[in-house]
């Protein structure tokens, strides 16, 4: 299948207050965000024309920027409106949305106190993060060669671009060895997350998930925890040792792109997607569709 470059597409992108032709949404090669990773972003999904939990994503984008020491010059409400404008202009009923904010090119060096802050929002059609066949069978994960950093070594509560460098390295290593993704440990050696999704284990009917104290507490993660509790499934957030995977009957990932994705293999461990995985996959699909209907009402 031919790859369509993301810089050579039809359509428009919301860029610093206006919709501009897709191919003209450019930044300078000496932008601070490129050289020093002073950049934050979001990943959002559109279902039947409506962005799921849009305001929560916009709020997190603003917070992520504040953690990196800059202020996005648009309010949460204005970012919501800009996102809706970008989605409407794209004319897609089901899509992925990428808001991104970064420091510009006024100063080039570690210090960038006077750099302008830019914001862009793009929307495009994007199929399931994993193929339907792989998802139904449970995807295969290897152990990542990198660990999530400690909170005193990186701004771990921000969805910052620089924090994803080790995710790309780990994802590439996994794909080169025939896996779909990689499972990362944290700096202490506990289970953390996959390269772009949170982790859940089913152990004896209870749902266990790592405490997000050095990685993002995902919006999808919180949604799924709510769904599980509604079903009467006990949810335990705690530090989980790698060897505890041997006790798990089911494992799945959650994320905006991944949604709810069952896992069939992590390193030497094997799992069979079962009742809880199936229930939460269906419940999450119902949730995003019902949220769309509620927004349209």
User: Mean pLDDT of successive 10-residue segments in the chain (297 residues)?
Assistant: 88 98 97 97 95 97 98 98 97 95 96 96 81 73 98 98 98 97 98 98 97 98 98 98 98 95 96 94 92 57
Please say if 159 is a catalytic residue.
yes
Query: What pLDDT score was predicted for residue 203?
Result: 98
d(CA 260, CA 240): 20
Give the tokens for residue 8.
């050579």
The Cα–Cα gap between 225 and 209 comes to 9
Please give the pLDDT value at position 136: 67
Number of H helices, E strands in the chain: 7, 16
Show the domains of the chain with their CATH numbers.
12-124 (3.30.470.10), 132-293 (3.20.10.10)
221 sits in the region (left: phi over 0; alpha: psi -120 to 50; else beta) called alpha
Question: Which helix or strand (DSSP H or E) is residue 155 part of?
Answer: none
pLDDT at 293: 56
Q: How far apart are CA 36 and CA 155, in angstroms?
A: 14
For residue 145, give the DSSP letter.
S
Which of the following is catalytic: 26, 159, 171, 206? 159
Nearest CA to 219 out of 39, 64, 33 is that of 64
- Tell me, what's the pLDDT at 218? 97
**DSSP code of residue 156:** T
H helices within the chain, ranges in order? 32-36, 54-67, 76-90, 132-137, 165-176, 219-230, 275-296
Q: How far is CA 191 from the centre of its chain?
A: 18
| pLDDT score at 248 | 98
pLDDT of residue 173: 98
pLDDT value of position 137: 82
Structure-token pair, residue 296: 């349209």
CA–CA dist 59, 68 (Å, integer): 15
Host H or E run for residue 184: strand 181-185
Quote the tokens at residue 72: 């996005």
CA-based torsion, 249, 141, 147, 233: positive or negative: negative
Residue 126: per-residue pLDDT = 80
Give the burial class of 266: count Cβ atoms within 10 A of its Cβ; 0-12 exposed, 13-18 middle, 19 or more buried.
Answer: buried
């Amino acid at each position: 299948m031919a790859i369509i470059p993301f810089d050579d597409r039809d359509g428009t992108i919301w860029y610093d207050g206006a919709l501009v032709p897709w191919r003209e949404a450019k930044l300078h090669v000496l932008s601070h965000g490129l050289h020093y990773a002073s950049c934050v972003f979001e990943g959002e999904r559109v279902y039947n024309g409506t962005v799921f939990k849009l305001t929560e994503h916009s709020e997190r984008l603003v917070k992520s920027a504040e953690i990196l020491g800059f202020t996005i010059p648009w309010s949460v409400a204005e970012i919501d409106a800009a996102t809706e404008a970008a989605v409407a202009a794209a004319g897609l009923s089901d899509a992925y949305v990428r808001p991104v904010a970064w420091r510009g090119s006024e100063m080039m060096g570690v210090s960038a106190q006077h750099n302008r802050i830019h914001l862009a929002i793009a929307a495009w059609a994007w199929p399931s993060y994993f193929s339907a066949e792989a998802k139904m069978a449970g995807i295969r994960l290897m152990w990542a060669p990198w660990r999530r950093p400690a909170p005193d070594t990186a701004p771990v509560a921000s969805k910052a671009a620089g924090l994803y460098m080790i995710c790309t390295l780990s994802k590439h290593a996994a794909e080169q060895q025939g896996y779909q993704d990689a499972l990362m440990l944290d700096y202490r050696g506990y289970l953390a997350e996959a390269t772009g999704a949170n982790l859940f284990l089913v152990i004896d009917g209870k749902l266990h998930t790592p405490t997000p104290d050095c990685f993002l507490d995902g919006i999808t993660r919180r949604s799924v925890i709510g769904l599980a509790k509604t079903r009467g499934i006990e949810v335990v957030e705690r530090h989980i040792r790698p060897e505890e995977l041997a006790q798990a009957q089911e494992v799945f990932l959650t994320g905006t792109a991944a949604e709810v994705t069952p896992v069939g293999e992590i390193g030497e461990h094997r799992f069979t997607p079962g009742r809880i995985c199936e229930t939460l996959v269906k419940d999450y699909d119902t949730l995003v569709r019902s949220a769309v209907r509620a927004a349209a009402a």
